[in-house]
Amino acid sequence: MTQFEKKKYKCLKTQFGDIPAITFTMKIIDILQIQYVAVRGIDEEEGAVQRVLNKRRINDIKDYVLEGNIFFNSFILNWTDKNYKPQITDDEIEIPLITSSAQVIDGQHRLAGLEAAIKSDEQIGNKYLIVTLCIELTTKQAAKIFLNINTEQKPVPKSLIYDLFGEVVDEESHAVNELNDDLQSPLYKLIKFPGSPRGVGSIELSTFVAAFKEHLKPGGTFHLYKLKTFDHQKTSIANFFSSIKDFYFEAKIWTNKTKNPYLKAAGFNGAVDFFVGSLIHRCAERGSFSANTMKELIALDNESLTTWDDLKGLDGKTARKKIKERLESNLLNSLPDQSEYEF
């Protein structure tokens, strides 16, 4: 049997929600031996939640450490080696120092900076850091920890945050996945998830989630109009984009990324602004959120559909507003004539 050096540390066993963890101090050089980084969207293994390393930040941390500084907050690791596991008693943990046996959940840039600093000053490797170790976390559990840290501390890329929110909720109740994967969905294969190959998808996941997030919360627009169930919310969104798709499909430009304005962030956001700000109210008045009702209310003119060419040269905010205004002008055209009103 292959032999590995093992080291014992006094430890404190803790529980964060349903996730058990062990906290102890460990030499930097030993942490660097066992740690590795699994990048979200690149590595397929369980627990992959990290972003790509930023070289400038690593150099800043290296300089910070070489100036005599050290870190007081904990480094969070996830033990993944299934053949050799830490042995834990009431107040002690024994860890086999196996290369690449523990994923970094939090602290990847600090560790990379420390590793760079050690090349200039080997004594830094003998200093101790606080480690919080979890054992064989699932990606869902690792995502919960990562989000807990990074929605309160230094911001991480929005697309990564929103991707991880998808790990925290159950797959069957994840509207974005269903709208992207359903063959009958107007948004079929149009959502671009982090890590997707180039050319796959058009609407960034972060754009979709940011557009609807507040409106789907309790007390948000959907709940205000009594669209409280997941199925009703998902269906109303699908019907809205189906109603727009029908007009653009007939014009043969729905999947044309250079023509269809709704496949870009500004156009998509403008459409959602119109949906939650105007159309949803009119549908509620009619008592119908069907695609046919929405198509009748929107009543786009096939001869003068808005394309991305109409928005070129505009900044994102202005293009977003323009899309909303054009959709609202069509909605006003669906109102009865003055002679049909009762007074």
Domain boundaries, the chain: 6-150, 169-340
pLDDT tens figures, 128-164: 999 999 998 887 777 777 676 655 555 545 454 455 4
Q: What is the mean pLDDT of residues 99-122?
A: 90
C-alpha–C-alpha distance, residues 242 and 230, integer Å: 18
Q: With 70 as the cut, is the pLDDT of residue 195 above it?
A: no
Q: DSSP string of 192-211?
A: E-TTPPTTS-SEEHHHHHHH
103 vs 150, higher pLDDT: 103
Structure tokens that stand for 250 in this block: 């007939």
HEC profile of 153-173: CCCCCHHHHHHHHHHHCCHHH
- Which ranges constitute the DSSP H helices of the chain? 28-34, 55-66, 108-118, 139-150, 158-168, 175-181, 205-216, 221-224, 230-250, 265-274, 280-286, 291-298, 316-333
Q: With 60 as the cut, is the pLDDT of residue 124 above it?
A: yes
C-alpha–C-alpha distance, residues 187 and 203, integer Å: 9
Dihedral angle over CA of 229, 211, 274, 243, nearest 10: -60
Contact 216, 233 (CB under 8 A): yes
Contact 62, 116 (CB under 8 A): yes
Backbone angles phi, psi at 105, to 5 degrees: -95, -40
307 vs 335, higher pLDDT: 307
Dihedral angle over CA of 226, 231, 237, 243, nearest 10: -110
Structure tokens that stand for 138 in this block: 């699932």
Confidence of residue 312 (pLDDT cuts 50, 70, 90): confident
Residues 6+ apart with CB under 8 A from 240: 271, 275, 279, 291, 294
C-alpha–C-alpha distance, residues 19 and 207, integer Å: 31
308 vs 209, higher pLDDT: 308
Contact 111, 75 (CB under 8 A): yes
Beta strands in 53-106 (DSSP E): 75-79, 87-88, 92-96, 102-106
The model carries a pTM of: 0.54
Strands 191-192 and 128-135: unpaired
Q: How far is CA 324 from CA 257, 268, 269, 277, in A?
A: 19, 10, 9, 9
Confidence of residue 103 (pLDDT cuts 50, 70, 90): confident
C-alpha–C-alpha distance, residues 249 and 253, integer Å: 6
Contact 325, 332 (CB under 8 A): no
Q: What is the mean pLDDT of residues 256-276?
A: 94
CB-based burial label for 221 (10 Å; 0-12, 13-18, 19+): middle
C-alpha–C-alpha distance, residues 51 and 311, integer Å: 33
C-alpha–C-alpha distance, residues 121 and 198, integer Å: 41
